[in-house]
Amino acid sequence: MGAVTYPNEKVVEFIERHMVPIQVLFDSQPLATKFNIQWTPTVITLDEEGKEHHRTVGFLSPEEFIPSLMFGVTKCHFDRGKFSEAVEMSEKILKDYPKSDAAPEAVYVRGVALYKSTHSAEPLKEAYKRLQREYPSSEWTKRAQPYGLL
């Protein structure tokens, strides 16, 4: 990723705007053990307190890496109960990278975040319908199937 993805202008811009990057060799101790890094590249999205919220392992092109990073930010917000911020970043993924591997999970998390902030089942039903329509073979469509019964 060092030759293709990391130097990409859009990747650099996103990281500079939303993250504090730290590059660590996969066998550097104690971090490799603390974060269970077994292979390279491993990209982990942590919050300000060092808690992990998202991880990718292996090469990603810039077109997949950016939405993966965006989803890491989404998960940080979601896991910390900042549902409006999670919804906002999910919507950005879906607008800018609708064909990315991160998109189906962004639909799912967006629906759950809206449910948790409104206590209305409608966003869950809408998420399932969208997943069926746009990502019918995604594992997230299968996971959202019960929402179709609401």
The string of pLDDT tens digits covering residues 79-104 is 999 999 999 999 999 999 999 999 99
At 17, is the secondary structure helix, strand, or coil? helix
pLDDT at position 125: 98
Q: What is the pLDDT along the chain (150 residues), one digit of tens a residue?
A: 788 899 999 999 999 999 999 888 888 999 999 999 988 899 999 999 999 999 999 999 999 999 999 999 999 999 999 999 999 999 999 999 999 999 999 999 999 999 999 999 999 999 999 999 999 999 999 999 999 999
- What's the confidence (pLDDT) of residue 23? 87
Domains and CATH numbers, the chain: 9-149 (1.25.40.10)
Which pLDDT score, from 0 to 100, does residue 29 have?
Answer: 93
Looking at residue 66, its pLDDT comes to: 97
Which residue intervals of the chain are DSSP H helices? 9-18, 31-34, 62-79, 83-96, 103-118, 122-134, 139-143
- The three-point CA angle 69-15-37 to 5° equals 55
What does the radius of gyration of the chain's CA atoms come to, in whole angstroms? 16
- At 107 the pLDDT is 98
pLDDT at 2: 81
Q: Give the pLDDT of residue 26.
A: 83
